[in-house]
Every structure is written in structure tokens, then in C-alpha cells.
Amino acid sequence: MAENKTQPTDIDPAAFVEGVPNASRRRDGLALLALMQEVTGAPPVMWGPSMVGFGRYSYRYASGREGDALAVGFSPRSSALVLYGLTDAPEAAGLLERLGPHRTSVACLYVSSLAKVDLGVLEELIRIGYTHMTTTDFTVPPA
């Protein structure tokens, strides 16, 4: 079975965020680094070259594929801040309605700037996302 491409690394998350070229993304990244660490109580860990994660969860599909992934996290991309693990909890839908300008994909939440969203709502999304990802059993029994 192939190993996941995105694995934890020894890269320093703070140094990674400090090295983000765009000043507003860097500022938002540093704010997210502090907020996610405070809310989750977990230390930041780099996953691959560009994702900062907090905590982890394990999964196993019916196919037998299994692995670990970051529970919640972010990546300060040039086009948007990408946040991971915040949209899966059942309570997330109602909070997303109150967050402010954003878009979502299957597993990601995209915001253009922290200044444009409600930080209290974002904090609650982080809290419920972390709890959901670290307490849910993501094991699918074989068919």
C-alpha cells in the first residue's frame, strides 16, 4: 500500500510562516499559528512543505488504505488562507453561515483575510473541528 504523500516533517512551523513572502498572509499565518495552538492545546507540526497542522487523526477505508492526517491546520497560500478540518463537524454548517466571506471545497475552508471574518466564529470552528477530528472513528470496516 502506498504511503500518504503528506507526512509530518521536522520543519519549524514558525520559521515557515515567517518566511511567507506576502506580508498580509504572513501576518494572518502568525495569527492562525497562535490561535490554533491556543484553542487545540496541540503544538504545531509541519505536514509536507506547506501545511501547519495541530493534532492528528487516523483513518482506514474499506479498501484497506489507511493513514494519519492533521486534525486541523492551515496553509498560507498566495490566493487564500486554506484551513483544514473545520468543515466536517455537524455544527460547522451553522457557524459557516456566520463566519463572513469564505468558500469551501470538499475538505477545505478558504478565506482571503482574517480581517474579513468573525474571529470568534473561527475560534469555535477550530474548537469543534479539532474535537470532531480527534474523537471520531474514521475506520470503515471492509465490505
Task: Write the CATH number for 22.
Answer: 3.90.1150.200
Is 102 a domain residue?
yes
What's the pLDDT score for residue 106? 87
How many distinct structural domains can be found in the chain?
1
Query: pTM, whole model, 2 decimals?
Result: 0.93
What pLDDT is attached to residue 103?
Answer: 97
Residue 41 lies in a domain: yes
In this structure, are residues 26 and 63 in contact, taking their beta carbons and an 8 Å threshold? no
Residue-level pLDDT at 143: 61
| Predicted local distance difference test score (pLDDT) of residue 5 | 76
83 located within any domain? yes
Spatial distance between the Cα atoms of 140 and 8, rounded to a whole number of angstroms: 24
In the chain, which residues have pLDDT < 50? none
